[in-house]
Amino acid sequence: MKKQVVSVVLTAAMAAGMLAGCGSSASSSTSSTSSASSSAASTSASSAASTSSSSSAASTSASSEAVASTSGAAGVGEASGKYALVPKSAGNPFNEREASGFQDALKALGCSDDQIIVSYPDNPTADSQITVIQSLISQGVSSIAVAANDASALDAALKQASDAGIKVCTLDSDVDADYRSVFCNQAGVKEIAQALMDAVYDISGGSGEYAILSATSQATNQNAWIDAMKQIAESDDKYADLKLDEIAYGDDEAQKSTDQTQALLTKYPDLKVICSPTTVGIAAAAKVLQDQKSSVKLTGLGLPSEMKEYIGDDDSHSCPYMFLWNPIDLGALAAYTSVALVNGTITGAVGDTFTAGDLNDGNPYTITENSDKASEIILGQPFKFDPSNIEEWAEVY
């Protein structure tokens, strides 16, 4: 797998933007970024700068220049209208960081607080997101960017939005391509699956039992990664001595993810590795394993700030290493995409190009085709966090 740093430097100016926590909310929403995220970002500039010296090839940047770049405004056009973001759930640090990137990019493009709506669903379910989307339609927003809790359940609501002239894009987790213009994908499905499968192989020593702790059973992104992991394992004899015991679902809730981890330990006494491709799940599992001094090891997708105390290559740490991308950048990409769609800079078709500030090193993004022949924008490659870099990146996000 190509290793690529997802963000190089978060400067003090970016931190100030997140501390502002700008954005208005619908009746069932909040628009604030968690104080932990803002605090981490504000202390990160110097330490992240030292890390970036070995990562000059980074393709995405969450620096203040990325958000405040005038070239970004020229690339997508002037921001006018109301722009809405519907995350998967409230209280999820990954979602909150997505929201901060979305808000800050729109502010840099000239949006006022009342033009930016971050509307969290009451629960991490499709039904709750449908309620939010219908409310946004009634408010007459110009665009909706949604991280879908279900691959198909939002179809009717998103069609209503499109019929009302609202531009729709997805991020993090996709829907049927007929009901959105384009998907802002954090990294390619195959690349993520390969990284995770190779981590299971490496950490297990190439043989033994492993389990997967996912989010919800309907989550399109986790399901795509897991399906690709299974395909990789089945198609390559390298993984023949690995056995997948179970795919458990913690519904991106900390307590349920904790309970599911404990259940896996009880049900499978020979379990060697748990792979959790969700930030909520991996944090919950890491605590269980480390508190119980379990010999079972962990990998997956996690936030550095939440996983710092669990990352280590010795017996006292539960997670040797993990992967992720920058959710702040992902939110910013969704904001630039939303403005470009509203202004007609792009339609969401394969081959469309646009510049998203200094994301992608200021180079234009080209909309590509995924394995389902649907259009997507790839933010970048997954990045490995291990004992050598976790301290620096924990201060970034």
Same domain, 39 and 162: yes
Same domain, 166 and 23: yes
The answer to whether residue 394 sits within a structural domain is: no
Query: pLDDT-derived band of residue 314, with 50, 70 and 90 as boundaries?
Result: very high
The answer to whether residue 2 sits within a structural domain is: no
Domain boundary among 324, 339, 354: 324
Same domain, 59 and 125: yes
The answer to whether residue 315 sits within a structural domain is: yes
Backbone phi and psi for residue 153, each to the nearest 5 degrees, phi listed first: -65, -20
Structural domains in the chain (count): 2
The residues, any chain, with a CB within 8 Å of residue 261's CB and separated by 6 or more, are 213, 248, 250, 274, 284, 285, 288, 289
pLDDT tens-digit readout, 237-276: 999 999 999 999 999 999 999 999 999 999 999 999 999 9
Whether 30 shows a pLDDT value over 50: the answer reads no
Same domain, 304 and 243: yes
Whether 135 shows a pLDDT value over 60: the answer reads yes
Same domain, 317 and 336: no
Specify the pLDDT at position 396.
Answer: 85
Region for residue 313 given its phi and psi (left: phi exceeds 0; alpha: psi -120 to 50; beta: otherwise): alpha
Query: pLDDT-derived band of residue 371, with 50, 70 and 90 as boundaries?
Result: confident
The answer to whether residue 58 sits within a structural domain is: yes
Same domain, 52 and 166: yes
Round to whole Å and give the CA distance between 75 and 2.
28
The answer to whether residue 3 sits within a structural domain is: no
Q: Over range 112-139, report the average pLDDT.
A: 97
Same domain, 286 and 252: yes
* Secondary structure (DSSP) of 358-384: TGGGGPPEE-EE-TTS-EEEE----EE
The answer to whether residue 390 sits within a structural domain is: no
The answer to whether residue 395 sits within a structural domain is: no
CATH code for position 89: 3.40.50.2300
Same domain, 346 and 269: no
Same domain, 68 and 135: yes
Same domain, 24 and 171: yes
Same domain, 199 and 138: no
Query: pLDDT-derived band of residue 284, with 50, 70 and 90 as boundaries?
Result: very high
Give me the long-range contacts of 34-39 (CB less than 8 A, separation at least 24): 34/93, 34/96, 34/97, 36/93, 36/305, 37/93, 37/96, 37/97, 37/100, 37/305, 37/397, 38/100
Which DSSP symbol is given to 149? S
Mean per-residue pLDDT of the chain: 85
pLDDT tens-digit readout, 96-112: 999 999 999 999 999 99
Q: Which two tokens stand for residue 108?
A: 């840099």
Domain boundary among 307, 324, 341: 324
Q: 3-state DSSP call for residue 73?
A: helix
The answer to whether residue 396 sits within a structural domain is: no
Same domain, 30 and 154: yes
pTM score, whole prediction: 0.75
Round to whole Å and give the CA distance between 28 and 200.
40
List Cα–Cα distances, 364 to 71, 168, 174, 333, 370, in angstroms: 11, 21, 22, 12, 18
Q: Give residue 283's domain range.
A: 189-324
Domain boundary among 324, 339, 365: 324
Helices (H) then strands (E): counts for the chain: 15, 15
Q: Over range 10-24, report the average pLDDT.
A: 33
